[in-house]
Amino acid sequence: MTAKSRGRFRTLPLHVVLIVVGAVMAAPLLYAVLSGFKSTDQLSDNPVGLPGPWEVSNYTGILGSGSFWRLVGNSTLIAVATTVLVVAVSALAAFSFARFAFRGREALFTLFTMGLMFPFAVAALPLFLLLRSMGLLDNPLGVILPQAAFGLPMTIIILRGFFREIPGELEEAATLDGCGPFGFFWRVLLPMARPALGTVSVLAVVTSWNNFFLPLLVFTDSTWWTIPIGVQQFQGQYSADTARVFAYLVLAMVPALAFYSVAERQLVGGLTAGATKG
Write the pLDDT tens digit of every residue in 102-115.
888 888 888 878 87
Q: Domains in the chain: how many in total?
A: 1
Summarize the confidence of residues 264-273 as an average pLDDT. 60
- With respect to residue 173, please indicate whether it lies within any of the assigned structural domains: yes
On whether residue 54 sits in a domain, the answer given is: no
As a whole number of angstroms, the distance between CA 36 and CA 30 comes to 10
Q: How many CB atoms lie within 10 A of CB 233?
A: 14
Q: Which is more confidently placed, 87 or 262? A: 87
Residue 28, in any domain of the structure: no
Q: Which pLDDT score, from 0 to 100, does residue 8 have?
A: 65
What is the C-alpha separation between 77 and 85, in angstroms, rounded? 12
Give how far Cα 253 sits from Cα of 112, 180, 217, Å.
Answer: 32, 45, 22
Euclidean distance between CA atoms 50 and 34, whole angstroms: 7
pLDDT recorded at residue 7: 58
- pLDDT at position 260 is 76
For residue 90, what pLDDT is reported?
92
How many angstroms separate the CA atoms of 147 and 75, rounded? 13
What sections of the chain are H helices per DSSP? Answer: 3-36, 40-45, 57-63, 66-99, 105-113, 124-133, 141-163, 168-176, 181-184, 190-192, 194-210, 213-218, 227-237, 242-262, 264-274
Nearest to 72 by CA among 259, 246, 265, 261: 259
CATH number, domain of 90, equals 1.10.3720.10
pLDDT category at 52 given cuts 50, 70, 90 is confident
Amino acid 127: pLDDT? 92
Q: Domain range for residue 184?
A: 71-274
pLDDT value at position 278? 42
| 49 lies in some domain | no
Q: Is residue 51 part of a domain?
A: no
